[in-house]
Amino acid sequence: MKLLLATNNAHKAQEIREILKDSFTEIVTMRDAGIELDVVEDGATFRENALKKAIETLDYAKDRFDAVLADDSGLCVDALNGAPGVFSARFSGEGHDDAANNSKLIRLLHDVPFEQRTARFCCCVALARREHAPIAVQGEVEGKILFDARGENGFGYDPYFYYEPFGKSFAELSSEEKNSVSHRKRALMLLREALNVEDRDHI
């Protein structure tokens, strides 16, 4: 079964290949396949966006692929009623300005004490298939929002996201440490389990 990834992120693609390699005979990115498509992510939830991206990309790819995997992710802060949520990448306006997004986040939380700055990174992965119903699963990792940035690794909100089990911000973790506990890793593991359950049910 040939799987198309609705991404051109090489690191993300490698992680997906490692986790789902036993479920698909071939896994390629949109760049690998020569496909250019920009799906408008206008859903109210990560699930809606991931499913829309997967389904529209599968339709666009015609019969070249058996399935498409897409994801949508972001940061949800309890003190902000779940914001920035699906607007995480464009929290400060259109575009993907990490510095501006972080600045707005910290400004909105300026008077919130640390114990109340609970948050989680969420990732929903959706698998659209031609012969089966789509699957959508969500992985999450809990943390708190720091007052000041820490670390030089990662991207987005990572410098402000404190992961208590490691006692570090996500930007202080090595790529191996982060990938071992990331919300995307957890979502992909849930997807793999769902596919394994399907396989067992069809035996």
> So which residues are the catalytic ones?
72
Select from 16, 10, 11 the least CA-distant residue to 126.
16
Q: 3-state SS string over the chain?
A: CEEEECCCCHHHHHHHHHHHCCCCCEEEEHHHHCCCCCCCCCCCCHHHHHHHHHHHHHHHCCCCCCEEEEEEEEEEEHHHCCCEHHHHHHCCCCCCCHHHHHHHHHHHCCCCCHHHCEEEEEEEEEEEECCCCCEEEEEEEEEEECCCCCCCCCCCCHHHEEECCCCEEHHHCCHHHHHHHCHHHHHHHHHHHHHHHHHHHCC
